[in-house]
Amino acid sequence: MSEIVGFVGMSHSPFATLSPFQEMGERFLADAARVKAAVAALRPDAVVVIGPDHFHANFYDQMPPFVLGVERATGFGDFGSAQGELPVAGELAWTIRDGLDDAGFDVSLSYALTVDHGVVQSYEMTTGLSVPHVPLVLNTAAPPLPSPARCVALGRALGDTIRRSASEQRVLIVASGGLSHWLPSNDPRDPSVTGEKRESLIHGRKDTRAFAAAREPRVRAMAGNPEARVNAEWDRWFLRQLYSLDVSPVVELGHDKLEHEAGSGGHEIRTWLAGHAAAGRPLVWDSYEPVPEWITGMGIGTTFPV
């Protein structure tokens, strides 16, 4: 049987690894380095990384709520994140697929998954990409999204599956998702989403590089604004909830109240809910720094001392 040796929830941001913006999240980057050292001491054999995609792999021609990579995972290389093939723990991935299927989750399958900074940045910050991973992508980009309750249920099934697996591995769970942040709408049903942008959100798969090349300058232009909206009070409240196994106060917010408090980008906390449920342990340590210049609250939480 495998053992889940710990859980790390970590914010990501397109700007956390780009100069000159790195100077702005000094506490987050220092604490992320401490977490990486603590993870090394845990000696994980594999890591399950739960994160979102930002329209580099999934589009609204087909938008699954959950996608599992089982054979190859390739970093897209957006915003300075690692580009190229990444190590995949294939046997564990198939165990997870089968276990989630038994639990009633029809998770989409990929033999060749592209992952962007939403998965790669936290994977790299916690392990240096040195530990084979299983990428599990949650749709947090735009509605319809899996509900917070569904993400918790998925996480519990994920944890049960890992613990029941025949292999004897030490598995780390990493959730990669920003805390509160407000982003332009990516919902094709939104009347403000029109023209070329709407076309790209639906049909961007035809030429992902061209779509990214057109989109990335618009995102980069949002960086560095000290007035960008971040709800630090809500972020700290959310982290406190994870010091308990009962996350019902978060789940009961539902989609609309969550968006009101944490913004359209705050839906990424679904990855934290899934990872926390998979680990089945409360946090024992956290770090938080609001970094409006990176467009989000930068938090880290762990189930082990740092």
d(CA 157, CA 240): 24
Among positive and negative, which fits the CA dihedral 131, 132, 135, 136? negative
3-state class (DSSP) for residue 252: coil
Q: What is the per-residue DSSP string for 120-188?
A: HHHHHHHHTT-S-EEEEEE--SSSS---HHHHHHHHHHHHHHHHH-SS--EEEEEEE---S-------T
**Separation of first and last alpha carbons in the chain:** 26
Q: What is the CB neighbour count within 10 angstroms for residue 191?
A: 7
Q: Give the pairing of strands 3-10 and 170-176.
A: parallel
Rounded to two decimals, the pTM is 0.96
Q: Which residues are catalytic?
A: 117, 181
Q: What is the pLDDT along the chain (306 residues), one digit of tens a residue?
A: 899 999 999 999 999 988 777 778 999 999 999 999 999 999 999 999 999 999 999 999 999 999 999 999 999 999 989 999 999 999 999 999 999 999 999 999 999 999 999 999 999 999 999 999 999 999 998 889 999 999 999 999 999 999 999 889 999 999 999 999 999 999 999 999 999 999 999 999 999 999 899 888 888 888 888 999 999 999 999 999 999 999 999 999 999 999 999 999 999 999 999 999 999 999 999 999 999 999 999 999 999 999
3-state class (DSSP) for residue 148: helix
Domains annotated for the chain, with CATH where assigned, are 3-302 (3.40.830.10)
What is the per-residue pLDDT for 223?
85
